[in-house]
Structure 1
Amino acid sequence: MIIAPDSLKGTATAQEAAQALADGVRSVLADAEIILAPMADGGEGTAATFQGQEITLPTVDAMGRLCEASYVLDGTTAYIDIAAASGLPAVMPGNDPATADTYGTGVLIADAQTRGAQRIVLGLGGSATVDGGTGILIALGATPMDQAGHPLKKGGVALKDIASIDTAQLNIPAAAMEWVLLSDVTSPATGSDGAAAVFGPQKGADAETVAALDAGIEALLQATGVDGSIPGMGAAGATPVSLMWLSTLLHGSADRIHLMPGAPLIARTQGLEDAIPKADLVITAEGRLDEQSFRGKVVGTLWHLAKAAGTPLAVAAGQLGELPDGVHGVQLKDSSDVYEQLFDAGQRIAMSTVQG
C-alpha cells in the first residue's frame, strides 16, 4: 500500500498527512506493508519532499515585511518554494496584489548561490503575487525601468510602464544558474486563462485590478520578448516570464531553464512510477477535490499512474467533488483536529478495503 498525500494547506504538511493516514490504516490492518511517499505539485511543501540541509534566513514577504523563510540545499541544488517567502497565507487578509512582489524569493535564490548552489528547483504554487517574477529580478540586481529611465514601483500593476530592464548591477553568478520551474497549473501568462484573470481574485484582486495586472504582464511580455502562451507560464503570477528572459539573456538560449509540471517529477523522485504497479492500493489526500485536482495536481498525477497500472486509488479530502470511475473518495469528518480527521479517513479507507 502506498500513501502519497499532498499537503493540506495551513493544517498539515504532506509528511504529517501521510503519517496520520498510515496510523489510521494500521489501526484496522495492523500488518499492512505501507510505503509513505509525501507528495507535492510545485506548491507549498514541494521543497520539503527533497533531501538536504534546511537553510533558514531573514527575508521579506510579498508585502515587503520582514519575515523568515527556509529552503533545502542538497549539494549544488537548492529547492525553494515561492510560497516560503512570497506565499499568500502570510499576507492574508490584507494582501495587495497590485503591489505584492517576489523580492523575498529572490533573496533566498541569491543566498543559495553563495552557499554553492548551481541549480535552483523552484516550486511555483501558492504565491501572493502577480508581478511576473520581477521582484526576483530586482533581488538579483536587474531593475525594470520606464521610458524615462526611472525604476518602476514594485508589483504587477506598475509593469504597464515597463520599457526596459537595466542589468548593470546584475548578480551574474546567481542569475546564470540552471533553473527548474515546477508548475502546478497549465495557465498561460495573460488572457482569460492567465495569471491575473484566474488567480488574481484568489489573491485579493477586484475586476479593475485584474485588468491592470493583466495589462502589466502583457507589457512585460512585450519588453522581454518571452512567449507567454507556453502552458505554465502563468504560474506564480507569471513568474516564469522574468526567469525565462533572464536565463535566455545570459546563455543565448532557453537551454538552462526548464518549465515543467511539478507532480510528475516528484512522483518520479519518490519512485512511484515503479512502486504503484506493485501496490494493492494508493491513498492520497488534499484539502479540496474538484476538476482542477485532475489537471497537473497530485491527485491527477497519481490517478493516471494508478489507472495505467490497474491499481485502485482512494482520495481523502475536506471537500469532495465529482470523482472519475474507479476512484474511491472519503470526505474528512468535521473536526478541528487534522490528525484526527486523517486518522479517521485512513481507518475508513482500510475498512472499505477489508469489506471489498
Structure 2
Amino acid sequence: MARSGLELQAVADTTPLLGRSLPELQDWVVTQGQPSYRAKQLHQWLYERSVHNLAEVSVFPKDWRQSLQSVPVGRSRIAERSQSPSGTVKYLLQLDDGEIIEAVGIPSGDRLTVCVSSQVGCAMACDFCATGKGGFRRHLAPHEIIDQVLTVQEDWQQRVSNIVFMGMGEPLLNLDSVLSAIRCLNQDIGIGQRGITVSTVGIPGHIRRLAETGRVGDRPLQFTLAVSLHASSQAVRDQIIPSSRHYPITDLLQECRDYVQITGRRVTFEYILLAGLNDHPAQAEQLAKLLRGFQSHVNLIPYNPIDEVEYQRPSKARVDAFAEALRQQRIAVTVRWSKGLGADAACGQLRANRRPTSLTV
C-alpha cells in the first residue's frame, strides 16, 4: 500500500541527512513543504559549516528550524582526544548507539590526512592488530564514515586533503557504504579521489568486484587500492592473518593483477615489518619475485608494538636492509615510519584501553 506524504516525511526524518547529495536534499526539502532552493543552503551547512543540529541553520525560517530539531544530521561527539608530540591526533568518537570508533588526524606540512574507520571493530583478527583483538561489532553507515572527516576538519580548522581507509575494520566487507561515503567526500565535500586510499587485507572476489564496479557515483574510480600483504609466503601470512588460510597469496595477487588490468590503476602493497618474522632480506627477495612484472608500489611499515602480543619493531638497519633488497630487485618501495601516539600508537588500542560503557550517550 502506498504511503501518504506525511508517512514518507516521517520515514525521511529518521535517516541522517549527512551523506545525501544535492538532488537528494532537494527531494527531502520539498517533502518538508519548503522551496527547493533551501537544499543548496542545507548542502552548504552540512558540508562546509559542519552543522551538528538543523536548529543551527540560521538561514532557515525560525519556525521551520524549531520543527527540525529532532531530524538527525548524523554527527558523532568526541569522547576522547589524544595528541602525540609529533602533532598527530587520535579521536574516540561516540556514535548514536553508544558504540566507539577511532579516527586519526595526521598533519604533514600544509596537508592534513584523516585515517578513517569503516567498521566498529574488525572480523579479520590479524594477530598483530589491536582492533582485531576486540572482534567485530557492526558496519558503519556512510554518514558515520563522512562524519569522521568532518570532525577532524572541524577540530583542526583546516581543510582535509587526504583520506586513508586504514582505521578500524575491513573496508571491502562494507563496500557499499565505503563507496557511498567516498562519493560524498569527493562530490559534496570536494576531496579528490586521488587523495583517497582504501586498504584491504584481501577478501576473495571483492577486489575484482571493486574493479568491476568501476565508478564512484557518476565518476570513474580513481582512488588508490592498498593491499595489506605483510608476508612473502603463505606460511607466514597464515600465521599473522588467519583469514588468509581461505585465500592463497597466489589467488590474491592474481585478483590484484585483474584489478590493474580492468582499472588501469596501480596497486599499493602494505608490508608491516615484524622483527624476526618477516623482515629478512631473503624474504624481501621472495616478495620481489611475487611482484615482478606487476604495476605496484610497496609501503614498508615498521611495526608499532601493542600490549596484547609480543611482536617487536625491527631495528632501522634491518628496515633499511629490507628496503634496499627490494630496490635491488627494481621494486618501488617507500618506508613509512609511524609518527606514533605514545602508549596508544596502534590502531584500536586507544579504544581498547577505554570502557565505552562509562561514557554518556
Please give the TM-score of this superposition, normalised by the length of structure 1: 0.32
The structure showing larger relative contact order (alpha-carbon pairs under 8 Å, at least 6 residues apart) is 1
TM-score, normalized by length of structure 2?
Answer: 0.32
